[in-house]
Structure 1
Amino acid sequence: MSIAILGSGHMGPIIARVAAEAGYDVSIANSGDPRNIELIAQVLAPGATAKWAADAVRDADIVVLSLPVHRFPELDPDLVAGKLVIDSMNYWPPVDGVQEMFEDGRRGSSEIVAARLANSTIVKTLNHLGYHELDEDRNTGRALGVAGDDTTATKTVAELIERIGYDAVLLDSLADGRLLEPGGPVFGARLTRAGFEAAIEKARLS
């Protein structure tokens, strides 16, 4: 299975590296010439190949959005049409500033992403831990949530989460991805599966 990472900032190269180490065929791209990120790939994501975004996505079974959220409006929805897309982005106004696209309080950020990428299948995960933790916390029993509306897609992404060294907790819907966002009960929390499930259930009851 092949994975394309869109985004070469803090998180993207780490996702690329842990996925490559888990045996996936991984490419990484940003909005420009792949020669500009070849050194990043070599140093931070050995095993991943820098490509043009269109080439990376065309060959991928899974596409990971690891863009700064303010760059998301620049993404052409046609680029990822028909693809299984992991949304690992966060909307966090104290960091990102106010982004009008994400100011709809009725929907979580991944629901907004899904509405814009209507021809893609969106699953939310990998957004609720830090980029340094993604490497450090592998195989420690830490749980990560996986939220989506498509059962097959969610299970596929859960398998990825398990393969890179985490316990996947499947949430019922993409709307439940709001529980994974900044300010949610599990954002930034190092929790085992039992603790993660308990925190989610407590938040739902309240």
Structure 2
Amino acid sequence: MLSVARALDRTGKRVGNLEESVRRLATDVSRLAGVVAGRPAATSSSDARPDGPPRASWLLAAGTDSELLPAALDDLIAWLDLVYLRFPDALLTACWLWHPSVIEELWWLRGAHADAYDPDTGSWLRVGDWHDRQRPGVARRVRDVLTKCDLSLHTGDRADRGPAAEPAPAPLAVHAATVAVEWGRSGTRPVPTTEQLDEARTSSAAQVRGRR
């Protein structure tokens, strides 16, 4: 009888422990359900992201009169102050907003940072890649552009030359169709015509003048 009583006592303790485990599990499930219910609904678009800028090119968005651009820049600037400018090699001069290529570089870096630290899809490997490769590369390219420029260079005639100048269109673009046909016909490198050589010299001279 004593052994039976001890067995019953052990069984009672196990049942009590099991009930406590079930209560804790129910609490955890309830908490998890609340978290899931509070999250934004998933969309079918791969560009929908809980954090960071939309996955789009600033260079393509500029000039579209998009109402999203001011908010996007506000988000970028907040991130620059919070993250990017805390690194000692980060440099932004007063004219950075006048350089679309600089905004593009910082724009994608901000998106990559959000991806790397995403609570669901991020990883330490992505974080390491952001710190070791992506951020230093952007910082170097941005610094190379901005250290050669000044906001005063974006005014008047000075805006048409030097680092503030708009990029020239692709040289000899009018001959693209002809060259493409030659490539497709023979598979060998097309031979430039006299006209194309003359245009190339004119284009090169204009590029040199634009850098001065």
Q: TM-score, normalised by structure 1?
A: 0.25
Q: Which of the two has greater helix per residue?
A: 2
Greater length-normalized contact order (CA 8 Å, ≥ 6 residues apart): 1
Bigger-Rg structure (1/2): 2
Q: Which of the two has greater strand per residue?
A: 1
Q: TM-score, normalised by structure 2?
A: 0.24
